[in-house]
A and B are shown apart, each in its own frame.
Chain A
């Protein structure tokens, strides 16, 4: 994507972020008035208050926050900006809520190229537009060169919980079915392929994307959903372990049913990693009673974000709080939580 064709960088006199851009003075205002406000423009933000004043309605709200410190900040398939929007949108969607408003806090390191910031802002604008959320308030700080790592972004989000929806892992029951929305490991492998010291050529792009449309389609198809989770850090294995432990129900996965792109599998084979533990940024795990699984799967497969959705396992009463997997050769083993970081093996 080349934003600069349509959107020339609005601040040309400063090629990089300086401490003065965080001073609260003229340059801070220039950053806000020329860059952030025009890009994210909406009624609440344009009002220019210290905070956004939002209309309240009846029903329940969901509220979440997430900070983004990804390195490198630009990677195949996205950058820290769209990731920061999608991450919070997805957390809201997984509460069964329709994401509505986001706040954006940016911590910029002195020396960050203005052009990079502009690319990030434009991709946030685009991601917010796709997800249908408004960025209604924000904050910017600048830290000395060496005190940050180019840019950190925090986003918080508010969403309205759909009426009648109750996402609650404690309602998981043995026999329920686990559905995964598509290929796993794309984001983590895309990031690794761009990281210093591990650079390798791959066509894999991050799957960073908003899930709220897919969640809407699922909730339209069934009112019996007990779990919606996006398996980000720690991957599918870690997320399923969390659900299994909090619900007290065991799980059995079918290795052959788990969608993994062959490029991702190849990279994992070479690096000695397991795709089950690799981060995703646009995938969804759904747990649903078996009687509604067919309908939900079909709804997911009919949505552009769930074309490759598959049933990957089910819940069991046999081994409470433990996740097991039937391997591709028919044997069984435990799938444990990730300890520390996954580190590439020696040989």
Chain B
């Protein structure tokens, strides 16, 4: 298939692998930010192509994984209401809240629907004027423009029965949290290609300088990821710390200007809680006050919900690259994809789920 096969080409993979072997002289720890990259690394077992000196750790870039527990609980409470049609991207349905997930709300009779585009929720709202239609708007900078577009469109059409439960997070502040931790071992980043498609990569330049760390904008296919790793290793070996773009076929320096303008209009930057990590200043979007009528948290009575995480789950450390999924005592035992304790076991992009599916470690129950 065009635009896919050429980036899964065995010869290109072998050449990049050989090049990385050739230039690597020291041990390096590199983090891929995005869950889509983690998924590809596992799916193609890309570590097979890397020298043992290169250690990959998996970053916080799985939107399902970092959405805070209390937002899930708020979603569950709203979705249980008889007057609500609750719409969501597919993989949010199995994310465990503190008592139940959205899948069980659906099983219990709640009207919970999986959508592929937030604009479909607008159509559902128009078709069901007697119901309140809520879209679960989560994700990084990547999904934010489409969700913003839905709000804008609802406003344009004068819809009174549409709202979003929004929990948008931003990549650069999370990178800074990881880098400023005393335990940090990350020496280079593969930046999330699709986030940069929207935002461009200028905002990473100060981070690379401040923390003296190479950041390479990287795509999601095997060839893309090996190319990104190759660029990071080259910088590390040469003592450089720059922002480079290894995903030029999609990403430009300034990103998608129309999308950025839309984000600026619809959202304000705000402090945000990350599941497993905690509060990070100025790390998320919230709906701007002029769009308050579309904010589900204002429409429904959910302000009292505040939640803590399962004590067994080490998702926070996994998401910051401090530990690998196999280091968790619950991994593959109390915590499996069919009954996840923490969010990284839920989404196929979550590090724990990816490990479970593709790597199974010894001692795991099957």
Contacts and interface: CB of A to CB of B under 8 A. Distances in A.
Interface of A: 196-198, 200, 262, 265-266, 269, 271-272, 327-334, 336, 339-340, 343-347
Contact of B358 (A272, A333, A339): A333
Contacts of A336: 356-358, 360
Contact of A346 (B91, B337, B359): B91
B222 A343 contact: no
B63 A347 contact: yes
Contacts of B9: 329
A334 B1 contact: no
18 contacts: A197-B115, A197-B120, A269-B4, A272-B348, A329-B9, A329-B222, A331-B44, A332-B45, A333-B45, A334-B357, A340-B338, A345-B91, A345-B347, A346-B64, A347-B36, A347-B63, A347-B142, A347-B143
Interface residues of B, number: 48
B194 interface: yes
Contact of B44 (A198, A265, A329, A340): A329
Main secondary structure of the interface of B (DSSP, over half): mixed
Nearest to B124: A197
Given A333-B358, A346-B91, A347-B63, 20 more contacts: A196-B113, A197-B113, A197-B115, A269-B4, A271-B116, A327-B44, A327-B45, A329-B49, A330-B14, A333-B44, A334-B359, A339-B337, A343-B91, A343-B93, A343-B114, A344-B116, A346-B63, A346-B138, A346-B139, A347-B142
A266 B63 CA distance: 23
Interface in B29-52: 36, 42-46, 48-49
B349 interface: yes
Listed from nearest, the 5 A-B pairs whose CB atoms lie closest are A343-B90, A344-B90, A339-B337, A331-B45, A331-B48
B2 to A, nearest CB: 9
Given A329-B44, A333-B42, A333-B358, A344 B1 contact: no
A271 B90 CA distance: 10
Contacts of B349: 345-346
Contacts of A269: 1, 4
Contact of B143 (A196, A340, A344, A346): A346
Interface in B132-166: 138-140, 142-143
B257 interface: no
Nearest to A266: B1
A328 B4 CA distance: 12
A333 B115 CA distance: 31
B94 interface: yes
